[in-house]
Amino acid sequence: MPFNPLELLKNPQALREQFAELQEQLRGLSATGSSGGNIVKVTVNGQLEMIDLEIDPVAVDPRDIPMLQDLILAASHDAQRKVQEAIRQRLGPMFGGMNLPGITL
């Protein structure tokens, strides 16, 4: 069913309820990204907040902290990408390609 923005204007209360429900669904969404062959794992929630970080002890080399920092950033980006993809899959049919800030559907 194609998206009709005029339908949203007809019932703003229903729109608020849908967005509240959507926000609740996003709170429960999470994805884990990894880097360095799963040496670093980062879990991000549906609001793109990092909620967990796992580091394999093999990655902890006090002589190479920059590498560990790069692995953490890469795992975080991987997790964020996965959450955004999950959001696109859930919202794509609802918003039919509509541009929402921070999310490309």
Q: What is the pLDDT of residues 47-92, one digit of tens each?
A: 888 899 999 988 888 888 898 989 999 999 999 999 989 888 887 7
Q: Tell me the CATH architecture of domain 30-94.
A: 2-Layer Sandwich (3.30)
Tokens 């080399």 label which residue? Answer: 61
pLDDT digits (tens, 9 = 90+) for 52-61: 999 998 888 8
Q: Where are the domains of the chain?
A: 30-94
Q: Across-strand partners of 32? A: 43
Q: Model pTM?
A: 0.63
How remote is the C-alpha of 66 from its chain's centroid? 25
74 CB contacts (<8 Å, ≥6 apart)? 33, 35, 36, 40
> Residues 40, 75: contact at Cβ < 8 Å?
yes
